[in-house]
Structure 1
Amino acid sequence: MKTLSITLFLCAFISLKMNAQEIANGKIPKRVYTTKKLKTTPIIDGSVADEAWDTVEWSSDFIERDPDEGTAPSYQTKFKVIYDAKYLYIAIRAFDENPELIQQRLSRRDGFAGDRVNVLIDSYHDKRTAFVFTTTAAGVKGEEIATGNGSNFDASWNPIWYTNAKVDEQGWTAEMKIPFSQLRFGKAKEQIWGFNIVRNIFRKNERSIWQRIPNNQAGFISEAGELHGLIDLVPQKQLEVQPFTVLQYDNYPKEAGNPYRDGSDFKVNGGLDAKIGITNDLTLDLTINPDFGQVEADPGAIALDGFQIFFEEQRPFFVENKNIFDYKFANGSDNLFYSRRIGRNPHRKANLSAGEFADEPQYSRILGAAKFSGKTQNGWSIGVLESVTANEYTEVREINEETREEIVEPLTNYFVARAQKDFNERNSFIGGILTATNRNLDGNFSELHKAAYTAGIDFQHNWHNRDYYVSGNTIMSHVLGSTEAIQKTQLSIARLFQRVDATHVEVDSTKTSLTGSGGRIEAGKNGGGNWRYNAGFVWRSPELELNDVGFLRQTDEIILFSEVKYLWQVPTKTYRNIEIKAQQESKFDFQGNNNQLEYKLEGTVSWINNWSSKLGFGHVPVNYENAYLRGGPRWRFADKDFMYLSFGSDKSKKMSFSAGYVVRKTEENVNNLEKYSIDLNYQPFDAFSMSLNTEFQKTIDKSQYVTTTDFDNQKRYVLGEIDNQTLSTTLRLNYNINPNFTIQFYGQPYISRGRYSNFNYVTNATASGFDTRVSMYNVSQISENNSTYFIDENADAIADYSFDKPDFSFVQLRTNLVARWEYIPGSELFFVWARGGSRFDDPRSSLSNGLRDQITNNKLEDTFLIKATYRFVI
């Protein structure tokens, strides 16, 4: 199979080269709009009748992009652009013969609902990065930074700018006023910027565009038109200071005798954020004692496989411009920079004696953080981040009422530097990253790395009108610490050097450092014609370690992958577009074992009525896992087949839905799964919307890992049959008084219950049949007493070993009610009520009873928070 994967990769690459020579270059001519300096300043009220706009002519002739690319749109759009010393002004007229049908849906900022226009400004003119300003027919604003030539849109960017919109008898109009201080551009007598405008007619799910970009064209920003006529612009250095104040009251169940849990707490906090334009290209962001109190809670999750769970970053300081620091080097969530390591929960808990209580910190305080980032006119993309978290202490109240402090997290410095350079007329780039984590252990915390460093180089080259590409990266990691810390790293589930059947790794208890590598190489075709394909490989050496400031799930892996897809992009009376793709993936470890072979076929259809559907099938004839037995031998999973199906209705309607189904069947029914999901969206009127997402998953696994124990100088890897059922529901309500005042509710009850039976132990981990891989305990060998199972394996009436009953039922409720008022641009008031709690319930209860008890019978914790910010623009 390894030879087959390599052959597929080589064939795809050769085909890529041949097609690059055969396909003719059919590039669309660039459109140019020439702006002029204004004579009088327009009032930004949404009306374009102001005589200030008479300075320039209208530009129009938009062309449809979706669904029927290259044809005339249902209704035309036109625009004007003027400027003065500090601002860029844009007027838009969106014609519509049925103005009463225009969707004026109110939403929060960046809601992107209803009829809207997007203005794309590539002021760097690097053909890869753009600022996108959006105005809806209801006057709701949105902003994004687009990177990767339009492959990634980051809505976390919140500049100060002004907009308004009006609906009239001809359709609707919009005005924008964008400060040059919020854009980035170099020095030139006349600026030439990439420029495009996209209009969305929501009820028709139709997009039209000023500069035509065929759907088969690779890239979006590189194909934009151009804005000329910006003469003698003076760069506006940005200086913004935003102090904040937070009042917080917590109410929770009182714990008898615990002085730290007396039922309520009140806190006052404050801090400062600042944004300083060092040059017009580069910005310094600072934060002192940042507050993340209004951040939405993480969704509920349980990891039965032992690996860490990835959660998205939600804290504003780290979310903004995160694309600059992003370095996904392999597949999945692996990344050299995972900002949630900064301010994480402390590594230790206090050592408590009977009758003692502790005031445990929930996170490590961030003393300060700074980001220096931006992109220069000559193609350099630069990002530098520095952050320091404090020594964290737990206060312990002793039996004699005296207190002591125990340190639970050391002072830690985090540093990240990222750079990329464009060249070859912006068709290529090369970049690098460096991260460093340094801890002040001060003779303590021998279990932690004293220092951790990673470095990487990445590149991409595009050719033939960007239809073809080759990209790649390589990384190195180096961690240092005590012999205890490095041995702990070797024994962690991501590595497991102690595996009994591993011949290529072993635990070295004398090491004080560890060095590893990883990377990804890929080539393919992503534009032109109807065919797309790619192939490549990924590797992670056994010694690789990123988890001090990055995210790494597993090491010791080599992946070979290939994909081919065919696109139907011209609409018919039945569909808008269709995509069918086939994928193949093989996984090996560094010992040469073939651990997985997977084939997948998937089809996606967008129907002419704006419904969508997806159907996929997969087959896994080879499936092994090195880490499954937590240091035991390589485990063979049963061969499996899976299928997934989803479909959804027209999202432009007031009521829409999507539903999904996943099923997995394995040989001998060892590990079967079914998952159902449904997502309902309803907007009864423009100011109010709601969504309800419900997921239910049931897994029956006869080989769920339970524990490892000793028996007669042998290891016993104990497994059991688990009936695992998980139910979660997420409700979101949004009410918008106006575009600047929104009320949002988020609620998620979650329960995951596991019941175990039919316990067994591993006898031959890689045998072909399940009955050969394990041996079942009979009724005379296993007994239960007081939630503990006792095993008398040799039947001598004496227990040989025991393990705790693994049944569980984890229940969690998270709710969040937030009122947000942007009382002036960039300055906000938040009123937050968060309510929730989590606990382990009786596994014998049903899912519905467990959720009901958590919501109605269990005492929950409440947090009330008021946060005020004011942005000074100097």
Structure 2
Amino acid sequence: MSRLVDCRRWAPLPILFLLVGISVLAEEDARPHPEKTIRAVRAVTPPELDGILDDVVWSAAPLASDFTQRQPDEGEAATEKTTVQFAYDDEALYIAVMCYDSEPDKIVSRLTRREDWADRDWVSVNLDPHHDHKTGFYFVVGPSGWQSDGILFDDGNESETWDGVWEAATDISAEGWSIEYRIPYHVLRFSEADEYTWGVFVHREVTRKQERSMWVLHGSEDSGWTSRFGHLVGIEGITPPRHLEVLPFALGRVSLAPGDDDGSRDTDLFGSTGVDVRYGLSSGVSLNATINPDFGQVEADPAVLNLSVFESFFGERRPFFVEGASVFNTPGPDVVGIGGPSTLFHSRRIGRRPQRFGLPDGADEIDRPDASTILGALKLSGKTDGGMSFGVLEALTAPEYALIEETTTDPITGQDTTVQRDHRVESLTNHFVGRVQQDVMKESKVGATMTAMNGEGFAPAYAGSVDAQHKWGEGAYSLFGRVAGSRAGAFDDRKQGYEGVVYFSNWSGVIGGQVYADVTSRDFDTNDLGFMRRANRVQTGGHMQVRIRQPWTLARESGFNLNAWSQWNLDGDRLSRGVNYNNWHELKNYWWIHFGLSRSFERFDDLATRGGPLMLAPAGWQWFGSFGSDRRKLVTFGGHGNGGRAEDGLSTNSNVGVQIGIKPASNVQLSLDPSYSSRHEYAQWVENFDTDGDDEDDRFVFGELDQDVFELGVRGSLSFTTNLSIQGYIQSFVTNGDYTAFKKLARARSYDFTPVSQGDLSENPDFSNRSLRGNIVLRWEYEPGSTLFLVWSQNRNESLDLDDPEFTPFDSVWDSFADDGEDVFLVKLNYWMGL
């Protein structure tokens, strides 16, 4: 078959011309907003932190009260009055917020653990102590005393991965509810000055009315965030502290694993100590370090069965690596339909499952650690007064060994001897990542990133990039570009590669979107310390959105999206081309719906044969939809579904699931998420053969696969106080796969096959697996920053009879509770010391 015509690869270009035209026409919409200012007063006596605003300082501090609705009626005055006041002393900033309520008995005051968002009333105070109009912190409090916090960056992005040690108290009265904050200066990290001007932004949520009001209105069509803040003035005569935080911990762990076939259990007792340290080197620079960390309280990854050629991606959940991770991020396009650009740093590579070195020929693996031990890690990050932000992370992981079994034959007697021994599968390894970014002009920046992995017994891997982003129109329009390079591979097979990315976006106004393009060379590789799906590609794409942000006939808010994309390899073979239309709506009753349709066109797949020739992939259709009920209700309900079929009708897929949430009390939350999916794949790769003995595969075997998957997730949480809670989850995963009609690819660049016998295969590829994973975590913050964890976790896996792979999901879920597995009981205690 001849190469597919590639003239349509430029399909996204009309969207580009449209967006550029919109940006020109909309420049007049980039209008400045009126600024507001509030003055803080010095507190001779700090207020008593009880949530009751009867302290002397609050009678003297100016009030800010002119709040405006963002929703549901944007621009109108808030229906419930809110006032905010600021005070300070030599140690901390104090904030008083009074949330008047005409129906105080209807205040929604849910009790959950810190950072666990639920439907409740709340107030968020945002601060920009650097006053750079790009970065800052937010502090959220609910009527029950619930707290959440996080960092602001890039004038519109936020991350709740940062946890500061600060205090707040609340009180509910006949007038409404009130808050008193105490935020120590060491939390805010600001530069010394005679008199300070900080950015400030306050907004309030009244859940029963779905009303959000703001002291400084950030409209639905406004871009940016931190750059829209008002100003906090009047603070003077204070000095930003250099602060040392030490968090030592001790833990004990008991693991119970299946023993011999007699049903016994192997018991492993383990104890450990370690320490986390944070030190404010200067007003804008901090050092975080961890020695011998343990993340036993972190929830395990969900079970998956991946039959694709691409690696599964799992997000980061470990606190040390999650906190402050945004400093290592670079901007990137919101890619639809195809894989996005590479990531130079993916922190899950640090402490990964040991896999550096393979097993000796003929050896069988008995056991292998689930993760590499992190001996220690150090992170230096900050931002200078000149607008330069930076981050450096260094981590060291220990050598790891697998237990293997080998059979050797005595050359004299001919007697076989089977022995078990340790075999090194991961070496002592150092991981490094560094990023620096400089603010330029008003809203733009340039940056660079470098990563390196070095260790014993393998060649080092390096990657680096430089990038630039220019914004204009008060941040409404953005042009970004990045060039990256890598050097990786074995000592005798070193490879170098490159990647280039460019995109333009405009997400403000009624019509917005983006266009993007990137190119990746054949030998570009960041997977040692980063994450990427594939190399050897060029891709372009566009996304246009029409967003109706005000109520109309059918909905309160709506969005209509059109996407187009195209991808080909460096040989010019088209790998992907498609279009997608989808829309979403928040209805008048606060339910929401989302649905759409995708069309993919005929293409080539250069990875389907796992190293062999290209294979043609037929065109197809895919539909999808989801919905959800009003999240304020005690019982919420949602669902999703999708399905598709190849144009020739030979392959089909479908998936359906529901989500049920129950809030039987203000401190209890339950959820149930069952889903079922099935697919019939006409040509699923099975294995390759070298039939002529030239050390190159020449037979590429596929089969028709019928696969069923059932997943069930159950979660629950119970909060006794704002500082004491228990959470649990369990995930059941059941899948069956039945292969029939085995065949080999008849010729390259085709979708034609020749039948082969199942007897020609090396093994039966059918599968039938089930797993059960879960944990229960009791978390008690017995003092600010100090926590006790009690954890039980379990992991059970079972491979079932391949001769009768009947799919019985409900029986399998029930039976999985009796499967052999590992149970782990852990106690972890840390203690926060601020020096």
Regarding TM over 0.5, the answer is yes
Contact conserved, 2:15 with 2:543, CA < 8 A, in 1? no
1-structure distance, mates of 2:725, 2:824 = 20
List per-residue Cα deviations over 1:853-874 (Å, max 9, x = no partner): 6423322321110000001110
Counterpart for residue 775 of structure 2 = 816
1-structure distance, mates of 2:168, 2:821 = 42
Counterpart for residue 432 of structure 2 = 415
Among 437, 447, 460, the residue aligned to 2:453: 437
Tell me: CA distance 1:454–1:591, structure 2 relative to 1, closer, same or farther (3 Å). Answer: same
- Displacement after TM superposition at 1:240 (Å): 0.6
Contact conserved, 1:516 with 1:545, CA < 8 A, in 2? yes
Q: 3-state DSSP class of the match of 1:53? A: helix
Q: 3-state DSSP class of the match of 1:318? A: helix
Indicate whether 1:117 and 2:123 are aligned: yes
List per-residue Cα deviations over 1:831-861 (Å, max 9, x = no partner): 0011221121235132326623642332232
Among 395, 399, 404, the residue aligned to 1:387: 395
Counterpart for residue 614 of structure 1 = 594
List per-residue Cα deviations over 1:464-498 (Å, max 9, x = no partner): 22221111211111125322xx3xxxxxxxxxxxx
Indicate whether 1:61 and 2:66 are aligned: yes
1-structure distance, mates of 2:643, 2:712 = 20
Counterpart for residue 743 of structure 1 = 726
2-structure distance, mates of 1:361, 1:18 = 57
2-structure distance, mates of 1:357, 1:423 = 55
Counterpart for residue 825 of structure 1 = 784
Counterpart for residue 4 of structure 2 = none
Counterpart for residue 460 of structure 1 = 469
- Displacement after TM superposition at 1:319 (Å): 0.7
* Worse-superposed segment, 385-394 or 513-522: 385-394
1-structure distance, mates of 2:799, 2:381 = 45
1:668-747 aligned at under 5 Å gives the runs 668-711=648-691, 715-747=698-730
- Displacement after TM superposition at 1:572 (Å): 3.7
Contact conserved, 2:309 with 2:607, CA < 8 A, in 1? no
1:720-799 aligned at under 5 Å gives the runs 720-767=703-750, 770=751, 773-777=752-756, 782=757, 789-790=758-759
Contact conserved, 2:19 with 2:512, CA < 8 A, in 1? no
Tell me: CA distance 1:86–1:834, structure 2 relative to 1, closer, same or farther (3 Å). Answer: same
List per-residue Cα deviations over 1:290-317 (Å, max 9, x = no partner): 0011110100111111321111111111
- Displacement after TM superposition at 1:395 (Å): 5.8
Counterpart for residue 263 of structure 1 = 266
Tell me: CA distance 1:124–1:850, structure 2 relative to 1, closer, same or farther (3 Å). Answer: farther
Contact conserved, 1:638 with 1:671, CA < 8 A, in 2? no
Among 311, 325, 328, the residue aligned to 2:328: 325
Counterpart for residue 337 of structure 1 = 345
Contact conserved, 1:811 with 1:850, CA < 8 A, in 2? no
List per-residue Cα deviations over 1:248-278 (Å, max 9, x = no partner): 01112212599xx961111111111000111
Amino acid at match of 2:109: Q
1-structure distance, mates of 2:280, 2:496 = 38
List per-residue Cα deviations over 1:62-97 (Å, max 9, x = no partner): 111122221122212111011111101111111111
2-structure distance, mates of 1:360, 1:7 = 51
- Displacement after TM superposition at 1:803 (Å): 3.0
List per-residue Cα deviations over 1:27-74 (Å, max 9, x = no partner): 220111111111221111111122221221211111111222211222
- Displacement after TM superposition at 1:712 (Å): 5.9
Q: Count matched residues.
A: 808
Amino acid at match of 2:205: N
2-structure distance, mates of 1:557, 1:396 = 40
Contact conserved, 1:134 with 1:143, CA < 8 A, in 2? yes
- Displacement after TM superposition at 1:359 (Å): 5.6
1-structure distance, mates of 2:284, 2:658 = 45
Q: 3-state DSSP class of the match of 1:45? A: coil
Counterpart for residue 103 of structure 1 = 108
- Displacement after TM superposition at 1:203 (Å): 1.9
Q: Provide the identity percentage.
A: 30
TM-score under structure 2 normalisation?
0.93
TM-score under structure 1 normalisation?
0.89
Indicate whether 1:518 and 2:524 are aligned: no
Contact conserved, 1:471 with 1:523, CA < 8 A, in 2? yes
Tell me: CA distance 1:819–1:455, structure 2 relative to 1, closer, same or farther (3 Å). Answer: same
1:459-498 aligned at under 5 Å gives the runs 459-479=468-488, 481-483=490-492, 486=493
- Displacement after TM superposition at 1:574 (Å): 4.0
Q: 3-state DSSP class of the match of 1:203? A: helix
List per-residue Cα deviations over 1:743-791 (Å, max 9, x = no partner): 0001001112111112222113434xx5xx22334xxxx3xxxxxx31x
Contact conserved, 1:39 with 1:55, CA < 8 A, in 2? no
- Displacement after TM superposition at 1:431 (Å): 0.7
- Displacement after TM superposition at 1:404 (Å): 5.0
- Displacement after TM superposition at 1:344 (Å): 1.3
Contact conserved, 1:20 with 1:468, CA < 8 A, in 2? no
- Displacement after TM superposition at 1:327 (Å): 3.7
2-structure distance, mates of 1:530, 1:841 = 54
- Displacement after TM superposition at 1:581 (Å): 1.2
- Displacement after TM superposition at 1:214 (Å): 1.2
Q: 3-state DSSP class of the match of 1:663? A: strand
Counterpart for residue 3 of structure 2 = none
Contact conserved, 1:238 with 1:277, CA < 8 A, in 2? yes
Counterpart for residue 798 of structure 1 = none
1-structure distance, mates of 2:817, 2:403 = 33
* Worse-superposed segment, 400-409 or 69-78: 400-409
Among 808, 811, 816, the residue aligned to 1:855: 816
Counterpart for residue 444 of structure 1 = none
Indicate whether 1:556 and 2:561 are aligned: no
* Worse-superposed segment, 848-857 or 224-233: 848-857
Counterpart for residue 575 of structure 1 = 555
- Displacement after TM superposition at 1:634 (Å): 1.4
Contact conserved, 1:598 with 1:622, CA < 8 A, in 2? no
Counterpart for residue 373 of structure 1 = 381
Indicate whether 1:406 and 2:423 are aligned: yes
Amino acid at match of 1:828: T
Q: 3-state DSSP class of the match of 1:668? A: coil
Counterpart for residue 502 of structure 1 = none
Among 358, 363, 378, the residue aligned to 2:371: 363
Indicate whether 1:835 and 2:815 are aligned: no
Q: 3-state DSSP class of the match of 2:385? A: coil
Contact conserved, 2:9 with 2:577, CA < 8 A, in 1? no
1:282-297 aligned at under 5 Å gives the runs 282-297=285-300
Tell me: CA distance 1:3–1:659, structure 2 relative to 1, closer, same or farther (3 Å). Answer: closer
Q: 3-state DSSP class of the match of 2:754? A: strand
Contact conserved, 2:15 with 2:544, CA < 8 A, in 1? no
Counterpart for residue 253 of structure 2 = 248
Tell me: CA distance 1:24–1:243, structure 2 relative to 1, closer, same or farther (3 Å). Answer: closer
Q: 3-state DSSP class of the match of 1:44? A: coil
Indicate whether 1:137 and 2:143 are aligned: yes
1-structure distance, mates of 2:235, 2:720 = 38
Tell me: CA distance 1:353–1:522, structure 2 relative to 1, closer, same or farther (3 Å). Answer: closer
2-structure distance, mates of 1:564, 1:108 = 39
2-structure distance, mates of 1:552, 1:858 = 36
- Displacement after TM superposition at 1:667 (Å): 1.2
Counterpart for residue 569 of structure 2 = 589
Indicate whether 1:846 and 2:814 are aligned: no
2-structure distance, mates of 1:700, 1:357 = 33
- Displacement after TM superposition at 1:204 (Å): 2.1
Amino acid at match of 1:515: Q
Amino acid at match of 2:305: I
User: What do you get for the CA RMSD once the two structures are aligned?
Assistant: 2.2
- Displacement after TM superposition at 1:2 (Å): 4.5
